[in-house]
């Protein structure tokens, strides 16, 4: 059983097993400021149950921006210290075996302490010159074996300094610059099949890659998003801190396609609480969960499985209908279905006056103007929103 509690506008969940409830519809109830969601078998009807607030909601684990490190700083330091000690021991053993090729300028004898001393000043590139290699073999060992170790040690030092100290300031600066740059951008929560397809279509429609920010939990998908020229953060999109980092307060829209309906509900609730006016578009795997996502604050909910089923059914007896529908919805088609507000110069005109564009629907004051009214010569008014078919000129016909 997986339970969700919404208290003080923050949604928490508990689960007995991570697999329990996967792909099942959600049922919801709100009581005394607490929202409870239950997974139920598909055959059940939605049921509401009352629960008290969770006394100790579970803590969310914080994520590092971009590509988080797999290890904590303490473990990283211990690992690198162990590598340094191992390399030092290797150099010490090598120089001790070949100590006859070294000369001490002070007394002419090489003791174990002298070898330890020479190992340290050689690796750290200090080189006082009081102990020097004099034989050809000792010089070759220093040039071909110890010098690469010396370079690797310095790279190890620099890498540790960057990872533990410098990178924090660099990431902070990059995040500050990102938040300053973002305005009227689109946040995509989830870069799986649905999320990546949505991003691909947005780019095809002319949306700049710099205006799209992806939040994804899996690093492999984060790399795919960055390879496509997008800004991507690795973390949980249901966390307020993560949505704050991507400037949700200035966003134009949020596309929620995390791949699970329960996760999508969490993200929608959190995003709607943080920004009551942003447009939220959510994906639902189960049709039963569409109403819950709408109640949670989503402006539009799309069920890819349901829409795909409709298209398959339509293609049974209608050979070209599915192809035409895809042509309408994609930017690369020969005809586009678009929605836009009426322009000042179009007020008072009839729908037929907008040719070659074909007006197929008009939204006016919260209602739909019927097709019969449009064909009867109804004039357009200020505030109308038009849905129309716009022909895309074939480049081959222009040559």
Give the residues across from 7 on adjacent strands.
10
Whether residues 194 and 263 share a domain: the answer is yes
- Give whole-number Cα distances, 135 to 93, 112, 118, 129, 132, in Å: 18, 19, 15, 15, 9
Q: Cα separation of 130 and 202, whole Å? A: 68
Q: Cα separation of 25 and 34, whole Å? A: 19
In a domain, 362, yes or no: yes
In a domain, 360, yes or no: yes
Q: Do residues 262 and 13 make contact, with C-beta atoms less than 8 angstroms apart?
A: yes
Residue numbers in the chain where pLDDT is lower than 50? 1-71, 395-399
- Give whole-number Cα distances, 86 to 80, 139, 247, 366, in Å: 10, 22, 46, 74
Whether residues 338 and 300 share a domain: the answer is no
What are 77's two structure tokens? 């330091």
**Residue 394 has what pLDDT?**
55
Question: What does the radius of gyration of the chain's CA atoms come to, in whole angstroms?
Answer: 32
Q: Cα separation of 145 and 5, whole Å? A: 62
Instruction: Give the 3-state secondary structure of residue 380.
Output: coil
CB atoms within 10 A of CB 215: 29
CATH number, domain containing residue 374 = 3.30.70.1450
Q: Cα separation of 177 and 265, whole Å? A: 30
Phi and psi based region of residue 97 (left: phi greater than 0; alpha: psi -120 to 50; beta: remaining): alpha
Q: What is the per-residue DSSP string for 138-205? A: HHHHIIIIIHHHHHHHHHHHHHHHIIIIIHHHHHHHHHHHHHHH-SS-EEEE--SHHHHHHHHHHHHT
Whether residues 300 and 378 share a domain: the answer is no
In a domain, 60, yes or no: no
Whether residues 198 and 279 share a domain: the answer is yes
Whether residues 284 and 349 share a domain: the answer is no
Q: Which of 307, 342, 373 is the C-terminal boundary of a domain? A: 307
- Give whole-number Cα distances, 64 to 71, 168, 172, 302, in Å: 11, 10, 11, 31
List, edge to edge, every strand of the sheet that includes 10-15. 10-15, 2-7, 34-39, 26-31
Whether residues 174 and 199 share a domain: the answer is no
**Residue 17 has what pLDDT?**
41
Q: Which of 7, 40, 63, 57 is nearest to 261 (CA)?
A: 40
Q: How would you classify the pairing of strands 186-189 and 253-256?
A: parallel
Q: Which of 145, 178, 211 is the C-terminal boundary of a domain? A: 178
In a domain, 81, yes or no: yes
Instruction: Give the 3-state secondary structure of residue 29.
Output: strand
Instruction: Give the 3-state secondary structure of residue 255.
Output: strand
**Residue 73 has what pLDDT?**
60
Whether residues 234 and 263 share a domain: the answer is yes
In a domain, 139, yes or no: yes
In a domain, 57, yes or no: no
Whether residues 217 and 173 share a domain: the answer is no
Q: Which of 383, 381, 386 is nearest to 360 (CA)?
A: 386
pTM: 0.62
Whether residues 147 and 214 share a domain: the answer is no
**Strand ranges, E, within 56-172:** 102-104, 131-133
Whether residues 211 and 272 share a domain: the answer is yes
The domain tally of the chain equals 4
Q: Which of 150, 178, 206 is the C-terminal boundary of a domain? A: 178
Residue 4 backbone dihedrals phi, psi, to 5 degrees: -120, 135
CATH number, domain containing residue 258 = 3.40.50.720
Residue carrying the six token digits 């947005």 = 202
Whether residues 216 and 296 share a domain: the answer is yes
In a domain, 66, yes or no: no
Domain that holds residue 221: 183-307
CATH number, domain containing residue 100 = 1.10.287.70
- Give whole-number Cα distances, 152 to 77, 84, 95, 145, 147, in Å: 16, 10, 18, 11, 9
What are 48's two structure tokens? 């509401």
Sign, CA dihedral 221-227-228-230, equals positive
Q: What residues contact residue 50 under an 8 Å CB cut-off, 6+ apart?
A: 29, 31, 36
In a domain, 287, yes or no: yes
**Residue 74 has what pLDDT?**
65
Q: Which of 275, 273, 294 is nearest to 283 (CA)?
A: 294
Whether residues 342 and 391 share a domain: the answer is yes
What is the helix, strand, coil percentage profile of the chain, to 5? 45, 20, 35
């Amino acid at each position: 059983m997986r339970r969700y509690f919404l208290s003080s506008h923050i949604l928490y969940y508990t689960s007995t097993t991570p697999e329990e409830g996967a792909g099942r519809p959600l049922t919801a109830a709100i009581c005394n400021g607490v929202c409870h969601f239950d997974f139920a078998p598909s055959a059940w009807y939605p049921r509401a149950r009352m629960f008290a607030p969770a006394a100790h909601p579970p803590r969310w684990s914080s994520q590092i921006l971009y590509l988080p490190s797999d290890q904590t700083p303490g473990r990283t330091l211990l690992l690198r210290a162990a590598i340094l000690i191992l390399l030092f021991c290797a150099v010490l053993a090598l120089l001790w075996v070949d100590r006859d090729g070294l000369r001490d300028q002070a007394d002419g004898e090489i003791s174990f302490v002298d070898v330890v001393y020479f190992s340290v000043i050689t690796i750290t590139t200090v080189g006082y010159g009081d102990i020097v290699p004099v034989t050809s073999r000792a010089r070759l060992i220093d040039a071909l074996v110890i010098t690469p170790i010396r370079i690797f040690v310095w790279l190890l030092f620099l890498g540790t300094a960057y990872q533990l100290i410098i990178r924090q300031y660099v990431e902070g600066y990059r995040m500050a610059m990102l938040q300053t740059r973002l305005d009227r951008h689109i946040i995509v929560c989830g870069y799986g099949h649905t999320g990546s397809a949505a991003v691909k279509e947005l780019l095809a429609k002319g949306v700049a890659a710099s205006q799209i920010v992806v939040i994804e939990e899996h690093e492999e998908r984060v790399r795919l998003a960055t390879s496509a020229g997008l800004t991507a953060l690795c973390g949980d999109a249901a966390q307020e801190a993560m949505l704050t980092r991507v400037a949700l307060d200035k966003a134009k829209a949020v596309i929620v396609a995390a791949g699970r309906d329960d996760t999508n509900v969490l993200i929608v609730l959190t995003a709607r609480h943080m920004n009551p006016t942003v447009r939220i578009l959510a994906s639902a795997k189960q049709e039963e969960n569409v109403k819950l996502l709408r109640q949670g604050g989503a402006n539009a909910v799309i069920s890819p499985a349901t829409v795909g089923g409709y298209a398959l059914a339509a293609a049974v007896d209608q050979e070209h209908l599915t192809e035409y529908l895809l042509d309408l919805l994609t930017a690369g088609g020969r005809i586009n279905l678009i929605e836009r507000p009426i322009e000042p110069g179009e007020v008072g005109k009839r729908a037929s006056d907008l040719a070659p564009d074909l007006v197929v629907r008009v939204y006016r004051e919260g209602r739909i103007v019927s097709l019969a009214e449009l064909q009867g010569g109804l004039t357009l008014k200020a505030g109308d929103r038009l849905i129309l078919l716009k022909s895309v000129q074939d480049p081959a016909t222009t040559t």
